[in-house]
Structure 1
Amino acid sequence: MKKSVPFARRFKQVVSGAMIALAASVAVIPSAQAEEKDSFKLAWSIYAGWIPWKYIDESGLMKKWADKYGISVEIVQINDYIESINQYSAGQFDGVVATSMDALSIPAAGGVDTTALIVGDYSNGNDGMVMKDSASVADLKGQQVNLVELSVSHYLLARALDSVGLSESDVTVVNTSDADMVAAFNTEDVRNVVTWNPLLDEILSQPGANRVFDSSQIPGHIKDLTIVNTETLRDNPALGKALVGAWFELMAEMGTDSEEGQKARAFLGEASATDQAGYEAQLAGMKMFWQPADAIAFIGSDEAYEAMDSVRQFSFEKGLLGEGADSPDFVGIAMPDGKTLGDTANIKLRFDTEYMQMAADGAL
């Protein structure tokens, strides 16, 4: 198996005042997207749960579904994950891929009304904490933990500490680039890290490494989404139909051992600098929603509601909702079935299952 390259999905840098100001400025400018049109742009960055967009693009699936609705959709790879979300927030793209935490803390917190069109998966072991010569999270008290600060790794640390009655004040967080994580763990001074695959598995292969907590213990908390501008979607339902149709047509095959499913996974393995087996190993650490009905059932569950509540609480505590946020309720979040979190007068992140339901009903 060829060695995988680190995926960019988790690389959430410290949110600067300039970034928040940029997003805020976008919110007060009339949206360029908020009009009927026939051409659209979707940005994606490399991660096992998002790289299917590359196959959808290059296989002709996107063109097939776009042609069906008389539109065109350009699918663009952006190597810098956070930059792709910034460009979306600034109106340069109609949609982008993002974790639920980043969808909340960047465009939504900046005032850009955003809809989670596709709930593709959640991390189910692909993110984890590793300790050297210890097998108990409780042993972290008084120790340093290396991770990418303010990323989903930071969130995972918070949940791990909470599971044993500790808090972040009981440890020292050391901000460490994902590019340096494996090398850091191999030094004498670094004894605890939180990271994601394929880095996680590489670190776990080192002598004395113990997986003590991972995302399978907080199912649904680290969600991978395809998000779109809400006003654009309202004015252009064809965009929602085409994106959802293309995505779930591929998922229906990719999750099987059919010839087409094997072909897709082999392509995506090569595209992510590994092979089919390597890509399938990464998929094994995720809960993929191969069928739209499964995605709908999950995002409408109490489990998903509680997970999103936990994510927004963490985002507020870390200052990710912006300087104007005086509580976790600052940004309103619309969940399915009329449930909401936060300020109902300031709904900026919406989990809308309308288009996934159309796919489930065979109505696309």
Structure 2
Amino acid sequence: MKRFSALLLSSLLLSTTAQAQDSFKVCWSIYAGWMPWAYGGESGIVKKWADKYDINIEVVQINDYIESINQYTVGEFDACTMTNMDALTIPAAGGVDSTALIVGDFSNGNDGIVLKGESELAAIEGQNVNLVELSVSHYLLARALDSVGLSEADVQVVNTSDADLVAAFSTDEVRNVVTWNPLLDEVAATPGAHRTFDSSQIPGHIKDLTIVNSETLADNPDFGKAVVGAWYEVMAILESDTDQGAKARASLGQAAGTDQAGYESQLKGMKMFWKPADSLAFINSDEAYQAMDSVRRFSFDHGLLGDGADSVDFIGIAMPGGKLMGSDANVKLRFDTTYMQMAADGKL
């Protein structure tokens, strides 16, 4: 996995101070929970909301997920789609104060472990496991191993790009992979393959977010309003049992390399928050808090909170309702419900 050193990030960030602006860039990568941004951009919904606030928002697809986060981290984008763990371990750990503007869903089966020729997870003991190292797949593996009395010391992780996982699993040498959809469905369809664990067994732990630079958001609240307004308008269409909704799901299925049925199948592997009230109910819950605490502890144990992190509390994570995990002097990840609440109240 590509990482930027704290020193490099610091030097880059010194020259990129947030301020009032009228043009913004949002990046996303292929995953069912983030692909609504593709529809939002292509349908004109994002432009409609940007025009409402007299700003411009460019929506950009990045083919490599980790690279999209790296580009956001060094200031190439104002917002980016990512999981809660990656938001913590890449931009936040790199010193970039980031805000989870939208809590879109959590993975509820769309991340999983597939074994070739074995139907029980315990069979993975002593074997290689191909995955994107230090990603949510790695976290899922750790939780899965724990569920059968194993630990990471009982397997050998082989770092593999998400772009290469499907091809790797088709070879005789690769027997076990951990990945997310649409790749998960592809590898699981291999003859002799078995899903042995998935994210439905750890609900709420893998959150799918739209992250924005906190300084940019503070200086440009209209950007936050436009992004959140556009998102929930797209959600209403995608959820709907209408011709428009069916066409939208079909177009996103095609963009993901499948079809409408395939995309709808992927949506079933997620707990979607179609309405802002759904997002708010979840992120304010004790379940969401405890899951984030588990993720930060895994991240610290794997050295992902930065070179200077001497404890799990090194980075502060601001949760809704004034709750705080970690240092109040180094808050770098914020779950700010202000804009989702505005959407729920019809005040955008």
The TM-score with structure 1 as length reference comes to: 0.90
Checking the alignment, whether the CA contact within 8 Å between 2:277 and 2:341 is kept in structure 1 is yes
Partner of 2:241: 257
Higher mean alpha-carbon deviation, 44-53 vs 180-189, is at 180-189
The alpha carbon displacement at 1:171 in A equals 1.6
The alpha carbon displacement at 1:110 in A equals 1.0
Higher mean alpha-carbon deviation, 187-196 vs 262-271, is at 187-196
> Cα–Cα, structure 1 residues 297 and 68, in superposed 2: closer, same or farther, change >3 Å?
same
The yes-or-no answer on 1:22 pairing with 2:8 is yes
Partner of 1:272: 256
Partner of 1:297: 281
Equivalent AA in structure 1 for residue 262 of structure 2: G
Partner of 1:217: 201
Following the alignment from structure 1 to structure 2, what is the Cα–Cα distance between the partners of residues 266 and 360? 27
Following the alignment from structure 2 to structure 1, what is the Cα–Cα distance between the partners of residues 64 and 188? 26
Following the alignment from structure 1 to structure 2, what is the Cα–Cα distance between the partners of residues 175 and 262? 37
The alpha carbon displacement at 1:320 in A equals 1.6
Give runs of aligned pairs for residues 74-113 of structure 1, distance below 5 A.
74-113=58-97
> Cα–Cα, structure 1 residues 186 and 80, in superposed 2: closer, same or farther, change >3 Å?
closer
> Cα–Cα, structure 1 residues 270 and 206, in superposed 2: closer, same or farther, change >3 Å?
closer
The alpha carbon displacement at 1:116 in A equals 0.4
Give runs of aligned pairs for residues 1-364 of structure 1, distance below 5 A.
13-15=1-3, 18-27=4-13, 29=14, 31-33=16-18, 35-364=19-348
Following the alignment from structure 1 to structure 2, what is the Cα–Cα distance between the partners of residues 206 and 71? 47
Equivalent AA in structure 1 for residue 7 of structure 2: A
Following the alignment from structure 2 to structure 1, what is the Cα–Cα distance between the partners of residues 150 and 243? 49
The alpha carbon displacement at 1:136 in A equals 2.6
The alpha carbon displacement at 1:186 in A equals 4.1
Checking the alignment, whether the CA contact within 8 Å between 2:93 and 2:305 is kept in structure 1 is yes
The SS at the match of 1:70 is: coil
Equivalent AA in structure 2 for residue 275 of structure 1: D
Report the identity percentage: 70
Following the alignment from structure 2 to structure 1, what is the Cα–Cα distance between the partners of residues 148 and 81? 33
The SS at the match of 1:212 is: strand
The alpha carbon displacement at 1:169 in A equals 0.9
The TM-score with structure 2 as length reference comes to: 0.94
Partner of 1:6: none
| RMSD of Structure 2 on Structure 1 (CA) | 1.8
Equivalent AA in structure 2 for residue 162 of structure 1: D
The alpha carbon displacement at 1:245 in A equals 0.4
The alpha carbon displacement at 1:238 in A equals 0.6
The alpha carbon displacement at 1:240 in A equals 0.7
The SS at the match of 2:205 is: coil
Higher mean alpha-carbon deviation, 41-50 vs 340-349, is at 41-50
Following the alignment from structure 1 to structure 2, what is the Cα–Cα distance between the partners of residues 36 and 215? 40
> Cα–Cα, structure 1 residues 281 and 312, in superposed 2: closer, same or farther, change >3 Å?
same
The alpha carbon displacement at 1:189 in A equals 4.1
Following the alignment from structure 1 to structure 2, what is the Cα–Cα distance between the partners of residues 134 and 53? 37
The SS at the match of 1:328 is: coil
Checking the alignment, whether the CA contact within 8 Å between 2:32 and 2:181 is kept in structure 1 is no
The alpha carbon displacement at 1:120 in A equals 0.9
Equivalent AA in structure 1 for residue 17 of structure 2: A
Equivalent AA in structure 1 for residue 247 of structure 2: K
- How many residues were matched structurally? 348
